[in-house]
């Protein structure tokens, strides 16, 4: 028994940004240090994700987590007692073994991840270090380039537009703080433009404006206009990032763009997207095709991978094996890292390592269902992901992450290196 051995684990049900239950876990170490973490939840999930264990039934739409909470408080708490919280790999290995399934369906990835993350927080606290420093050591100083949503769509805004995220990136900003300053102006300008045009219908799940556009391209036009109205040069100072989340409206090589009244084949999607790349200042496109459309990913990467970053989210589900396969086939050039898609920090970090080996860029990412938990900001710096995506520039659960990154950038002082545009994924020619 040492000071960093796990003495006590306790989970409780708390609520996320959609008003749904989720799992919060406290880990107490023998020496008195405490760590706490809350698991987030997706809405547009990939089928290869680790399982988010929900009770089903009537209460809270079936989203209750009493089983997941009980799993932490009984099976997991018992099994990890006495383990050293500073040996994250051994702890996560124990959790993986204990669950024993490929997708953590026995204990629930929501249960497992809350323990994995809370233990890391406790270990960092025991050493008197912020989490990013504990994870990344003294060299952890790369501050990520943020992808920040301006309009929400798809599953996050009643499918009012087909595309899920219309975001901006500020590759020419000199610091993270400046990237936020610029984004704040664009977010405000977009809101004003939409209000004037009668297309503002509220705020979507991740804090972006809830638009009522008549075509997907109108969203792109409005975004460019907002960048200009805010006083920036589109494409030079501020560019566009899209999360198409194509699995939400496509499968088996057919894509139903309801807003545009179009049904497209894989080739049609690639043609439409390469057309947008030619006409709009797009830097990054996530899930351009459905998760089952591997050939489509390969073809799109061949067509556009040297011009834009192509990100696999539902397609790769933060999975090291899927990423290896994608790299062999040259599908996408960037991977989104969402710890709850796997269920432990160690598995997610493994994917980050494979990305480095395969020359894929990485983006640490929150989920659409979030809380005040800011672990993801620390992972981005500790693991040197280079990019961070946590939603829009509104709503406390989003701002908590951006604000945490401001604190980290400030704490690192002269040592901080803002990633800027240097980290954008591009396929080598
Ligand atoms: P999700 O959305 O958390 O609902 O999956 C985020 C994303 O698709 O990137
Ligand atoms: Zn996505």
Say what the pLDDT of residue 281 is: 98
Kindly give the pairing relationship between strand 21-29 and strand 6-15: antiparallel
pLDDT in tens, 310-356: 999 999 999 999 999 999 999 999 999 999 999 999 999 999 999 99
Average pLDDT over residues 215-244: 97
Distance in Å, CA 416 to ligand 2 centroid: 28
Considering the domain architecture, whether residues 104 and 176 belong to the same structural domain is answered as no
Q: Are 213 and 162 in contact (CB under 8 A)?
A: no
| pLDDT at residue number 159 | 82
Tell me whether residue 168 is in a domain: yes
Q: Quick check: is 62 in a domain?
A: yes
> Do both 111 and 240 map to the same domain?
no
State which ligand 1 atom lies nearest to the alpha carbon of 43. 4
Q: What is the CATH number of the domain that holds 66?
A: 3.30.390.10
Contact yes or no for 50/342 (Cβ under 8 A): yes
Among 74, 94, 128, residue at a domain's last position: 128
Mean pLDDT, the chain, rounded, equals 97
* Nearest-angstrom CA–CA distance, 141 and 152: 31
- Looking at residue 168, which CATH number applies to its domain? 3.20.20.120
Query: Is 297 a domain residue?
Result: yes
Q: Which of 417, 383, 371 is nearest to 120 (CA)?
A: 383
Taking a 5 Å cut-off on Cβ, the residues next to ion ligand 2 are 243, 286, 313
CB of 43 closer than 6 A to ligand 1?
Answer: yes
Give ∠ CA 300-289-358 in degrees, rounded to 5: 60
pLDDT computed for residue 1 by the predictor? 87
Residues 203 and 173 occupy one common structural domain: yes
Query: Measuring CA to CA, which residue among 311, 325, 320 is closest to residue 426?
Result: 311
- pLDDT band of 88, cuts 50, 70, 90: very high
Flag whether 377 is in a domain. yes
Its pTM surpasses 0.95: yes
- Nearest C-alpha to atom 2 of ligand 1 is from which residue? 368
Q: Is the pLDDT of residue 113 over 70?
A: yes
Mutate to test the pocket of ligand 1, among 22, 164, 341, 392 (most ligand atoms within 8 A of CB): 164
Same domain, yes or no, for 122 and 251? no
Task: For residues 261 and 330, state if they share a domain.
Answer: yes
**Ligand 1 mutation pick, 39, 342, 365, max ligand atoms within 8 A of CB:** 365
What would the pLDDT profile of 60-73 be if each residue is shown by its tens digit?
Answer: 999 999 999 999 99
* Contacts by residues 190-193 (CB-CB < 8 Å, ≥ 24 positions apart): 190/150, 190/151, 190/222, 190/223, 190/226, 192/229, 193/222, 193/225, 193/226, 193/229
pLDDT band with cut points at 50, 70 and 90 for residue 157: confident
Residue 211: pLDDT band with limits 50, 70, 90: confident
Check whether residue 308 and residue 182 sit in a common domain: yes
Percent of residues, the chain, with pLDDT higher than 90: 95
Mean pLDDT of 394-400: 98
137 belongs to a structural domain: no
Q: What is the DSSP string of 385-414?
A: -EEEEEEES-SHHHHHHHHHHHHHHHHHGG
- Rounded distance between C-alpha atoms, residue 273 and residue 285, angstroms: 9
Q: Which domain holds residue 68?
A: 6-128
Weakest-pLDDT range from 99-108, 194-203, 233-242? 194-203
Q: Is 311 domain-assigned?
A: yes
Quick one: which ligand is closest to 20's CA? 1
Is residue 406 within 8 Å of 390, Cβ to Cβ? no
Residue where one domain finishes, among candidates 94, 128, 162 = 128
Residue 278 sits in the same domain as residue 365 = yes
Residues 113 and 175 in one domain: no
Task: Find the 52 Cα to ligand 2 centroid distance in Å.
Answer: 17
**What average pLDDT does this structure show over 29-39?**
98
Overall domain count for the chain: 2
Closest-approaching ligand to the CA atom of 397: 1
Q: Are 120 and 35 in contact (CB under 8 A)?
A: yes
Domain annotation covers residue 133: no
Q: Are residues 146 and 122 in the same domain?
A: no
The band of 428, judged by pLDDT with boundaries at 50, 70 and 90, is: confident
CB of residue 242 inside a 6 A radius of ligand 1:
no
Residue nearest to atom 1 of ligand 1 (CA): 42
Q: Name the closest ligand to CA 16.
A: 1
Please tell me the distance between residue 165's alpha carbon and the centre of ligand 1 in angstroms: 9
In residues, how long is the chain?
429
Minimum-distance ligand 1 atom for the alpha carbon of 367: 3
Distance from the alpha carbon of residue 338 to the mean position of ligand 2, in angstroms: 10
Final residue in a domain of this structure, among 128, 152, 171: 128
Asked if 245 and 285 touch (Cβ cutoff 8 Å), the reply is no
Q: How confident is the model at residue 155 (pLDDT cuts 50, 70, 90)?
A: confident
Q: What pLDDT score was predicted for residue 156?
A: 82
List, for residues 231-280, the tens digit of each pLDDT value.
999 999 999 999 999 999 999 999 999 999 999 999 999 999 999 999 99
Determine whether 397 is exposed, middle or buried from the number of CB atoms within 10 Å of its CB (0-12, 13-18, 19+). buried
In this structure, the answer to whether residues 152 and 94 fall within a common structural domain is no
Query: Strands (DSSP E) along 16-105, which ranges?
Result: 21-29, 34-38
Q: Are residues 105 and 146 in the same domain?
A: no
What is the sign, positive or negative, of the torsion defined by CA atoms of 97, 103, 109, 113? Answer: positive
184 and 309 together in one domain: yes
């Amino acid at each position: 028994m040492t000071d960093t051995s796990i003495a006590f684990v306790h989970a409780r049900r708390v609520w996320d940004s959609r008003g749904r239950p989720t799992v919060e876990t406290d880990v107490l170490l023998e020496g008195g240090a405490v760590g706490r973490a809350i698991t987030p939840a997706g809405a547009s999930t990939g089928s290869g994700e680790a399982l988010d264990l929900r009770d089903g039934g009537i209460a809270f739409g079936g989203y209750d987590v009493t089983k997941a909470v009980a799993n932490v408080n009984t099976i997991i708490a018992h099994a990890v007692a006495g383990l050293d919280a500073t040996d994250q790999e051994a702890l996560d290995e124990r959790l993986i073994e204990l669950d024993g399934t490929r997708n953590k369906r026995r204990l629930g990835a929501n249960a497992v991840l809350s323990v994995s993350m809370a233990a890391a927080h406790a270990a960092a606290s025991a050493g008197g270090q912020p989490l990013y420093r504990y994870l990344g050591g003294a060299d952890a100083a790369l501050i990520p380039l943020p992808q920040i949503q301006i309009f929400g769509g798809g599953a996050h805004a009643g499918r009012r537009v087909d595309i899920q995220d219309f975001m901006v990136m500020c590759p020419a900003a000199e610091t993270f703080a400046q990237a936020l300053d610029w984004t704040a102006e664009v977010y405000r300008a977009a809101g004003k433009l939409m209000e004037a045009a009668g297309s503002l219908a509220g705020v979507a799940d991740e804090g972006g404006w809830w638009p009522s556009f008549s075509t997907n391209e109108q969203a792109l036009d409005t975004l460019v206009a907002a960048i200009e109205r805010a006083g920036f040069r589109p494409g030079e100072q501020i560019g566009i990032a899209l999360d198409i989340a194509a699995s939400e409206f496509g499968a088996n090589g057919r894509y139903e763009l309801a807003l545009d009244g179009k049904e497209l084949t894989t080739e049609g999607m690639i043609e439409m997207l390469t057309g947008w790349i030619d006409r709009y200042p797009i830097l990054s496109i996530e899930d351009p095709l459905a998760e089952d459309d591997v050939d489509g990913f390969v073809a799109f990467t061949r067509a556009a991978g040297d011009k834009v970053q192509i990100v696999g989210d539902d397609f790769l589900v933060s999975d090291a094996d899927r990423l290896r396969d994608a790299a062999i086939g040259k599908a996408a050039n960037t991977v989104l890292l969402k710890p709850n898609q796997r269920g432990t920090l160690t598995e997610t970090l493994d994917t980050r390592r494979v990305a480095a080996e395969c020359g894929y860029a990485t983006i640490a990412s929150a989920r659409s269902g979030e809380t005040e938990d800011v672990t993801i900001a620390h992972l981005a710096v500790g693991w040197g992901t280079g990019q961070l995506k946590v939603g829009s520039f509104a709503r406390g659960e989003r701002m908590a992450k951006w604000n945490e990154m401001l604190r980290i950038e400030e704490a690192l002082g002269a040592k901080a290196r803002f990633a800027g545009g240097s980290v954008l994924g591009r396929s080598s020619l």
